[in-house]
Amino acid sequence: MANNFYTGERFNRHTICENGEGQIAGRLGEAEFARLLCLHSPSFSWIGAHAGPVDFEVHLTQEKSISVDVKTKLRTVRAKPHYDAHVTLSQKNYDVDIYVFASMNERDANRVELISWCSKPWFWRNARTVQAGDKDEDGYIEEADAGKMKYSNMMSIDVLWEKIEGYA
Q: What percentage of the chain has pLDDT greater than the value 70?
A: 83
Residue 29 has pLDDT above 50, yes or no: yes
2-6, 56-60, 96-100, 159-163: segment of lowest average pLDDT: 2-6
Evaluate whether residue 35 is within a structural domain: yes
Evaluate whether residue 33 is within a structural domain: yes
Evaluate whether residue 32 is within a structural domain: yes
Q: What is the chain's mean pLDDT, rounded?
A: 84
Coil vs helix vs strand at 40: helix
Specify the pLDDT at position 75: 87
3-12, 58-67, 103-112, 144-153: segment of lowest average pLDDT: 3-12
4-8, 34-38, 46-50, 121-125: segment of lowest average pLDDT: 4-8
Phi, psi of 14 (to 5 degrees): -90, -10
Evaluate whether residue 14 is within a structural domain: no
pTM of the model: 0.84
Evaluate whether residue 30 is within a structural domain: yes
Specify the pLDDT at position 10: 46
Residue 117 has pLDDT above 70, yes or no: yes
Q: Taking the C-alpha atoms of 143, 120, 124 and 11 in order, what is their torsion angle to the nearest 10 degrees?
A: 20
Using 50, 70 and 90 to split pLDDT, how confident is the model at 8? low
Evaluate whether residue 89 is within a structural domain: no
Count of structural domains, the chain: 1
Which residues constitute the domain of residue 45? Answer: 21-84+96-120+151-165
Evaluate whether residue 77 is within a structural domain: yes
Phi, psi of 80 (to 5 degrees): -115, 155
**CATH number, domain at 79?**
3.40.1350
Residue 142 has pLDDT above 50, yes or no: yes
Evaluate whether residue 159 is within a structural domain: yes
